[in-house]
Amino acid sequence: MANDTSTTAVAESYVDGLTTFESFDLDPRLIQAIKQQGFSNPTLIQAKAIPLALQEKRDIIAKASTGSGKTAAYCIPIIQSILEDLANQSEPEHEIRSIILVPTRELSSQVTQFLEKLLVYCNKAISVANLSATYSPQVLGLILANKPEIVVSTPAKLIAILEANQSVVNLKHVRSMTIDEVDLILSYGYMDDLDKLENFLLVKKNNLQIFLMSATVNDDLNELKAKFCTKPAILKLNDDTARDKKLVQYYVRTSEFDKFLLTYVIFKLSLIKGKTLVFVNNIDRGYRLKLFMEQFGIRCCVLNSELPINSRLHIVEEFNKNVYNLLIATDETNDFTVERDEDDEEMEEAKPEEPKKGAKKDREYGVSRGVDFRNVACVLNFDLPTTSRSYIHRVGRTARAGKSGMALSFVIPGKEFNKHKASALASTKRDEKVLKRVVKSQLKLGFEIKPYSFDMKQVEGFRYRAEDGFRAVTATAIREARIKELKNELLNSEKLKRHFEENPQDLISLRHDKELHPSRVQTHLKRVPDYLLPAGARKDTAHKIGFVPFQKKVAKRKGKKSTRKSDPLKTFKARK
Ligand SMILES: Nc1ncnc2c1ncn2[C@@H]1O[C@H](COP(=O)(O)OP(=O)(O)OP(=O)(O)O)[C@@H](O)[C@H]1O
């Protein structure tokens, strides 16, 4: 399918103003749908990948930063190629012509929805099916019998369906295969699924056009090329991010308990304007943090692999519609590749947390990669991820599509590890090592991640209340909250399922941030007495409650002009 390998390395700017979608000679129905999405010009990865895929029929391996438009970079050529195939057939038949593989069910749903938006004017010439959705066998049978031209799925789900429906599913007409987040798909746990897929789809023998996309494809691409491609075009769009990605990143060295104290102060005093996505490293942490915040009347919802898929998708939709401002998402180190640096001793492979007995975890849950969160002002790594790769994807949930964003990460220094048992977390033992790798990988991408220091004198006044609130969240309370939330969401999920079936276009705003209340409720904690507020935010100036200065004043060095940017928590404003 492709000529010689060529590597294109260009500085990435968000949208390529010199190119238009019309210049790709696309079907007018596709152009109209693209315009309807508000895409005036292609992003750079699109401007590079689409003509290579359409005019030169090249396989594409693309590494481009998070939020740079990779999804459209493969969806547009896939749709255009199918429209061209159908136009060349006297009696076009419905057949499966393209397979798109993604690592999570959340991403499978999102890519399907995006494709449906691009197909809106193709009046059923092409249909798309999300095989990762929960269908009854009868409904699934009907969907497969209709032979959707494009199927989107996680590898495991596609294999299961192919094995169970060999007679129904015919892959003879498949012309392209896409693997989004390819580095994750090729890592822990997915590889054998891909090997099984070979039994149904001889990728290389059938000369399929291949799209392999990720923000973190590692530079050794030989395995990818050998396994899937003949001679791909390799697009490595390095980030000139200092100028283009408008992402400011900070880390705070703090103690295990002070993570909770600082989070309380940040959200109670609205130091961050706009939506915040908080990542924690396991489900219990998510509930502990949610119950802790509830003590102070701070409402938030949790997202984790135990919740039913309908609820998870609805929570992401509602968060994107600004129904919630604060979402605590569990990211269970689903990036199992081990990262080694020259100076780093062997690190044991991060394995998924074993499910609690009786709890069922969806291995195909994940929102730290690929999911297109809208207008997130800040990503807070309450727990630092275990790899710099996971870090890139987590902070990539903000500053997307050219918008500005901030990332703030709590780091536990070695000497603080395990000092406060109730709030300690095993993965933080490696925080300093992970931070070192994160700083290095960010520098390579043209980013700088800066230390941020709170003025702990001002924060101290809140310690007593934070300790009070923390004590109320007992292990029993967390366990009960987990069970209660699961019951709530299973009920919601049933309602959602029934409602979606009856009203597919309608999204009822089921609340997912109800207070769980199993822990002791201390109403006095919900307000902040005036004496605790910094002078700049007292009653007489109550309207200024957000952006109160909490950063430690750094004494200006003699003679040297302070290069420190103004306080991000004080002045940070998410660009509209
Ligand atoms: N040409 C375009 N013009 C304007 N906005 C665009 C364009 N292409 C994509 N977008 C928007 O940019 C956002 C990010 O796109 P997308 O999710 O495809 O990024 P990505 O590169 O896949 O990110 P990730 O690496 O996190 O998966 C989306 O909201 C999308 O609607």
Q: Are residues 278 and 400 in the same domain?
A: yes
Q: In terms of residue numbers, what domain contains 460?
A: 245-339+359-526
Q: Is 347 domain-assigned?
A: no
- Tally the domains of the chain: 2
Q: Which one of 240, 256, 291 terminates a domain?
A: 240
φ/ψ of residue 396, rounded to 5: -75, 0
Candidate from 48, 68, 216, 277 with most ligand 1 atoms within 8 A of CB, to mutate: 68
According to the model, what pLDDT value does residue 241 have? 40
Same domain, residue pair 262 and 206: no
250 and 232 belong to one structural domain: no
Q: Tell whether the model's pLDDT for residue 326 goes beyond 80.
A: yes
Using the mean position of ligand 1's atoms as its centre, give its distance from the Cα of residue 50 in Å: 14
At 155, list the tokens: 């590898």
- pLDDT, residue 455, reads 86
Q: What is the mean pLDDT of the chain?
A: 83
- CA of 237 relative to ligand 1 center, distance in Å: 15
- Is 127 found in the same domain as 104? yes
Asked if residue 444 and residue 368 are part of one domain, the reply reads yes
Look at the block and give the residue holding tokens 């200006």.
556
Ligand 1 surroundings by CB, under 6 angstroms:
15, 39, 42-43, 46, 64, 66-72, 215, 370, 372, 396, 400-401
Domain end, chosen from 240, 266, 288, is at: 240
Q: How far is CA 77 from the centre of its chain?
A: 24
Distance CA 454, CA 438 (A): 21
| Residue range 44-55, pLDDT digits in tens | 999 999 999 999
Q: Which residue has the higher pLDDT, 196 or 285?
A: 285
Atom of ligand 1 at shortest range from CA of 42: 1
Using an 8 Å Cβ cutoff, are 133 and 109 in contact?
A: yes
- Determine, yes or no, domain membership for 4: no
- Give pLDDT, residue 248: 93
Reported as a single tens digit per residue, the pLDDT across 228-256 is 888 789 998 865 443 467 899 999 999 99
- Same domain as 461, residue 441: yes
Going by pLDDT thresholds of 50, 70 and 90, the confidence category of residue 345 is very low
| Same domain membership, residue 216 and residue 290 | no
> Do 236 and 250 sit in the same domain of this protein?
no
φ and ψ of 20, to 5 deg: -120, 160
Would residue 128 count as lying in a domain? Answer: yes
Same-domain status, 286 and 159: no
Instruction: Pick from 372, 389, 397 the residue to mutate for probing ligand 1's pocket: most ligand atoms within 8 Å of its CB.
Output: 372
Reading the block at residue 229, the tokens are 């491609």
ipTM: 0.99
State what percent of residues in the chain have pLDDT above 70: 81
At 245 the pLDDT is 74
* DSSP sequence for 421-472: GGG--GGGGGHHHHHHHHHHHHHHTT--EEE--B-HHHHHTTHHHHHHHHHH
In a domain, 60, yes or no: yes
* Range list of β-strands (E), 120-198: 128-130, 150-153, 176-180
Lowest mean pLDDT among 162-166, 269-273, 346-350: 346-350
d(Cα 165, Cα 139) in Å, to the nearest integer? 13
Q: Are residues 232 and 258 in the same domain?
A: no
Measured from the CA of 397, which atom of ligand 1 is nearest? 26
Beta carbons within 8 Å of 218's beta carbon, 6+ residues apart:
183
Predicted local confidence at residue 466, as pLDDT = 96
Domain boundary among 186, 206, 240: 240
Report the residue among 16, 71, 368 best suited for mutation to probe ligand 1: largest number of ligand atoms under 8 A from its CB.
71
Beta carbons of 276 and 449 less than 8 angstroms apart: no
Model confidence at 6: pLDDT above 50:
no
pLDDT at 520 over 50: yes
For residues 364 and 337, which has the higher predicted lDDT (pLDDT)?
Answer: 364
Provide the whole-model pTM.
0.84
- Read off the pLDDT of each residue in 48-76 and give the average, rounded to a whole number: 94
The per-residue b/e assignment along 276-295, b for 16 or more CB within 10 angstroms, e otherwise, is: bbbbbbbbbbbbbbbbbbbb
Contact (Cβ atoms closer than 8 angstroms) between residue 239 and residue 65: yes
Probe residue for ligand 1, chosen from 35, 37, 112, 320 as the CB with the greatest number of ligand atoms within 8 Å: 37
For residue 494, the model assigns a pLDDT of 76
| 35 and 132 both lie in a single domain | yes
CATH number for 251 = 3.40.50.300
Q: Is residue 77 part of a domain?
A: yes
399 and 516 assigned to the same domain: yes
- Report yes or no on 570 lying in a domain: no
* Protein residue with its CA nearest to atom 4 in ligand 1: 39
Q: How remote is the CA of residue 370 from the centroid of ligand 1, in Å?
A: 9
Confidence of residue 259 (pLDDT cuts 50, 70, 90): very high
Q: How far apart are the first and last CA of the chain?
A: 43
Mapped onto helix, strand or coil, the DSSP state of residue 503 is coil
Name residue 233's beta-bridge partners. 6, 60
What is the arrangement of strands in the sheet containing 176-180, beginning at the earlier edge strand?
Answer: 6-9, 233-236, 60-63, 209-214, 176-180, 98-101, 150-153, 128-130
Residue with tokens 């050219």: 402
pLDDT at 524: 81
Residue 137: helix, strand or coil by DSSP?
helix
Q: Which residue has the tokens 């069910």?
A: 105
